[in-house]
Amino acid sequence: NSRSDNPFHLYLTGLKRDSKTYAECQRQCPGFENYLIDVNELMHHQLFKSDIIVYLTPDSPNVLQTLDPNKVYIIGGLVDENLDTGMTYKSAQELHIETARLPVDLYMNKTNPGAHCVMPINHVMNILLDIHGGHTWPDVFSKYLPQRKGFVLKPDFTVEVSGESSK
């Protein structure tokens, strides 16, 4: 985020400084305390009004097309990807929070029937940063959902490569 030309204001919510998770963040990320992040013990729905929150979840029926600068986007949490699907969607619905999913299925085909679209938080963050910076969905999905993971760009879309368009 700090290297981005157009960084986001980031919050880590529900994170206690004396927790094992916080200690692991410090261990895994040297200088974590100096990151451009607000760490808060309160949860997202306690910090922000529910009408400005959009919880990003692959289970949402709503497709994210653009980023609204007046909204707060929840990327998710440090969870095991093998947990029951729908967990984040159900949580958002219980809190009456708007949900959306990234438009992966609009721009990408699965070449591997077993391919799943559970993305690491850093990939989602990079995708959103690139979209926020003016890149297109096909560009960012081609970059962060590589063919080796079972995703290829649909034939109707092109990717910008150094100012050139390629299919």
Buried b or exposed e, range 25-52, using 16+ CB within 10 angstroms:
beeeeeebeeeebebeeeebbeebeeee
Q: Confirm if 54 and 71 have CB atoms less than 8 A apart.
A: yes
SS3 for 111? Answer: coil
59 carries an active-site annotation: no
CA distance 127 to 86: 22
In the DSSP assignment, the letter for residue 66 is S
Q: Confirm if 26 and 56 have CB atoms less than 8 A apart.
A: no
SS3 for 108? Answer: strand
Choosing from 18, 51, 80, 84, the catalytic residue is 80
Residues forming the active site: 80
